Structure 1
């Protein structure tokens, strides 16, 4: 029986359960957090005021989080969504440590969850990058 690269890229058994659990949890959290940023919840506005870049950064971060949350639930984008959200949370951890203070632990936990999702989807990410590279030649 011949297996395609998309079948080989999908996690199996326990890894599939863990992947879906992490994806659902992260999607719910990022959708709520991104939605709060986009809805200009006063606590989010205050945090981004303390960052000092401007409220445009709150909106961009909210869009990234909502798009990433949706991406976690779509088979073709889950790996890249995990990477995007892990990078976003790496910036959030840095902002907590070096700019606004406060505990970076929630952002660090979300970083680890998003990075775990990306790691579980690494074969799919590699397949997509190979396909992209192959289409350019």
Structure 2
């Protein structure tokens, strides 16, 4: 699936790059998280999650799960942009849409619960 891989690579690098800026203390990111008023610890957590998600998109075994987790993270960023920062959520929504497309293209790779019950001895 060339489309899925292309989207995974693009989103993976964009998200991991954003996470790297957060972890390295880029002044814009420090200011952004100061405006959120949740503390700089949140910047570090979000940065680590973004890097993990971006890398996860490139690993076949976890790429669908990474897309799902990034979708949740990006929807949280959208809410934060709207409710707390009062800024446009455009970028977060575009990235969330890409994560959703990846998730839909890779949904068969998500772990499923087994409906069979092992026999009792």
What TM-score, normalized by structure 1, do the two folds share?
0.82
Moved over 6 A (4+): none
Aligned pair count? 118
CA distance in 1, matches of 2:107, 2:5: 15
Q: CA deviation at 1:136?
A: 8.2
Structure with a larger share of its residues in helix = 1
Q: CA deviation at 1:129?
A: 2.0
Gaps of 5+ in 1: 1-15
Gaps of 5+ in 2: none
Q: 1:136 to 1:72 in 2, by over 3 A?
A: farther
Q: CA deviation at 1:102?
A: 1.6
What TM-score, normalized by structure 2, do the two folds share?
0.92
Picking from 66, 75, 84, the partner of 2:60 is 75
The Cα RMSD (Å) is 1.5
Within 5 Å, give how 1:15-94 maps onto structure 2: 16-94=1-79
Q: CA deviation at 1:42?
A: 0.3
